[in-house]
């Protein structure tokens, strides 16, 4: 059996994800490069001959304890 607690750097990891330092570093860089801007190649306008698409996202987890598999399974029964 391997000792999973004896890993280099494990103690220096944060107990929870802290996005603020990462966003502070990379947010301005991504904005400068135009990442995340809608439209064809960041123009803000669609490309005339390109098909449209949508990304379906799951509903929010309002209680903080629901598991998506449970939510999808129970939705039909409710």
Region 43-65: mean pLDDT is 74
Question: Is there a domain that residue 6 lies in?
Answer: no
Question: Is there a domain that residue 1 lies in?
Answer: no
Domain hosting 24: range is: 14-77
* Percent of the chain with pLDDT strictly greater than 90: 14
Question: Is there a domain that residue 59 lies in?
Answer: yes
Q: Taking the alpha carbons of 59, 62, 21, 34 in that order, is the dihedral positive or negative?
A: positive
Query: Quick check: helix, strand or coil at residue 34?
Result: coil
Residue 51: pLDDT above 70? Answer: yes
Cβ count near 66 (within 10 Å) = 13
Residue 49: pLDDT above 80? Answer: yes
Region 42-69: mean pLDDT is 72
Question: Is there a domain that residue 71 lies in?
Answer: yes
Distance of CA 66 to the CA centre of its chain: 18
Question: Is there a domain that residue 57 lies in?
Answer: yes
Q: Please count the structural domains in the chain.
A: 1
d(CA 67, CA 59): 11
Question: Is there a domain that residue 2 lies in?
Answer: no
């Amino acid at each position: 059996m391997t000792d999973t607690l004896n890993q280099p750097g494990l103690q220096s990891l944060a107990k929870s994800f802290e996005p603020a330092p990462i966003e502070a570093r990379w947010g301005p860089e991504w904005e400068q490069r135009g990442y995340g801007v809608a439209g064809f190649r960041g123009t803000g306008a669609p490309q005339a001959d390109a098909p449209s698409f949508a990304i379906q996202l799951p509903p929010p987890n309002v209680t903080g304890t629901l598991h998506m598999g449970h939510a999808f399974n129970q939705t039909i029964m409710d």
